[in-house]
Chains A and B, each alone.
Chain A
Amino acid sequence: MPLEPGASTVPVNEDGSAVRETVVNLGPSHPSTHGVCRVIAHLDGEIVTRAELVIGYLHRGIEKMAEHRTYLQIMPLTDRLDYVGSMYANWAYCQAVEDLAGIVVPERAEYLRIITCELQRIASHMMSVGSTGNDAGATTLFVYAFWVREQVLTLFERLCGSRLTYNYVRPGGVSFDTPDDAWIDEVRAFCKAALPRFNEIDRLFFGNVITKGRTKGVGVLSAEDAINASVTGPSLRASGVDFDLRRDEPYSLYDRFSFNVVVGENGDVFDRARCRLLECYESVRLIQLALDQMEPGRVKAEAVSRLIAPPVGETYKTLESARGTLGVFLASDGGVRPWRMKVRSPAFSNLGIVGPLCKGYTISDLIMILGSFDPVFGEVDR
């Protein structure tokens, strides 16, 4: 495959001599790149002197497709943005539509959204933590983490019939109420069963001396650089920035809960992965609090037309997804189709720093650094 213009320039030393380097093309379809991402790594021996990420292999033009569909027809497209955490894209899109069309969401629906999205956060973080282990060669961890993810997907299957693309959060509420009271008991039982599993993963992987040697001090991102590079979510908090949209700019009913925001210290691969694991404990707490507070009631707003035609205007609503600040910008011209939809994807914004960050580390560290930002290429490429 030919290199793009700009990627093939041969770097020279300060005295003008050619740099001794090998160019390794990683991907676009390589198991360690977590999707279709291509990395052009310039190596001096084993050390990365320059890494360039080439994305766009999964670009489906979802923003263009949205301009040709009605507001409800866009819902299935949002599932296919972040396919490890579809609930967030569903919710972010619905938030924007509700803001634009002035739809008020019933309280029970908001609780169900919080419960499912915190379950989704656990499922998504387990995928990320598991694959961090996989990248480091600890395949066992992947299996342990997937036990937890599997439980969440089974709960979702009972709730909305789907395990990956839920289409659950809808403009004005959610698509289904809980199937029966047993489902709530199952969620409570899951919360109880998951905590020992998290402890186990923490001891098995993060307490392991080999893991520490492999991940500590690798891919260190300072707080200042992380903020300047638009990094959000757990990757930002791992660098020591105490910021979480759920607490600091609460949306939905998050202002009714008190929970801890997990903050790391060093901003290396170890902290980014461990922050995700520790966030799962907080998510369990949030689920339990939401289940306690939830009252019976409607799960969908009355009088939401199937052909929504919001008034002329723009909106931009954000929420804290498993990867960071996920925002949806909608511009309406008063018609039944949006004039413009834009998804501010956290995975895309976080990935911009990965190339520069890999400089000076080895090629095997590059894999760890790329994986530690938890990219999902459906969301990166849109």
Chain B
Amino acid sequence: MKAEELSSRLLGYWPELSDLCSIEKNRMLIKVRSETVHATISKLKELGFNQFEMVTAVDRGADLEIIYVLHSIPMKASVWVRTHVPRDAAEVASMADLYTGADWPEREVYDLFGIDFIDHPDMRRIMMPFDFVGAPLRKDYVDENIIPRPDYI
């Protein structure tokens, strides 16, 4: 389904969404504050987004951006939900109570970005060793093993 069609359909059910959503390159984006992200995704799940496709974070310098991609099998469409959390108090509600498929992806973001997912059933490291210290995918993570590569042309 095209993004315009999707957004007009969603706005029909949920008019308050119009302040939050935008369309970029045939992709529907919803931008919310980190406190309301659980309520937003729970509402989207009711509207037919039955699959939790992925969650990831991007280091934006001043804060960390969390991006959720939800997918709907009946509507054949995806939607992005974006939120920002501060670097030093990075926490957001867990979606594991809505989607069991959010369990491992949220553990991965916790592991590599140090973002705490509140009320997650099993918040442990998943990729790195369990005694590892640090959040490797944050830009301020320092590791002397990383050697800068020249831009070979």
Contacts and interface: CB of A to CB of B under 8 A. Distances in A.
A63 B127 CA distance: 12
B101 A352 contact: yes
B101 A229 contact: yes
B18 to A, nearest CB: 22
Interface stretch (B32-40, B50-58, B83-91): B50-58
Interface residues of A, number: 49
Interface residues of B, number: 42
A6 B129 CA distance: 14
Contacts of A225: 100
B56 A56 contact: no
B99 interface: yes
A352 B146 CA distance: 30
A353 B58 CA distance: 26
A351 B104 contact: yes
Given A5-B130, A248-B76, A307-B153, A329 B101 contact: no
Contacts of A349: 54, 101, 104-105
B28 interface: no
A230 B151 contact: no
A342 interface: yes
Interface in B126-141: 126-130, 136-137
A331 B137 CA distance: 13
Interface in A159-218: none
B73 A344 contact: no
A26 B52 CA distance: 29
A325 B53 contact: yes
Given A6-B124, A56-B126, A307 B151 contact: yes
Nearest to A345: B54
A55 B127 contact: yes
A46 interface: no
A231 B101 contact: yes
A336 interface: yes
Contact of A63 (B73, B104, B137): B137
Given A4-B130, A381-B127, A230 B53 contact: yes
Contacts of B27: 316
Contact of B100 (A69, A325, A352): A352
A70 B150 CA distance: 9
A348 interface: yes
B100 A228 contact: yes
13 contacts: A4-B124, A56-B125, A56-B126, A59-B128, A69-B149, A228-B101, A249-B76, A340-B58, A342-B54, A344-B56, A348-B104, A349-B105, A351-B104
Among all A-B residue pairs, the 6 with the closest Cβ atoms: A230-B101, A352-B104, A344-B54, A342-B56, A56-B127, A59-B127
Interface of A: 4-6, 55-56, 59, 61, 63-64, 68-70, 73, 99, 225, 227-232, 241, 243, 248-249, 306-307, 313-316, 318, 325, 327, 329, 331, 336, 339-340, 342, 344, 348-349, 351-353, 356, 381-382
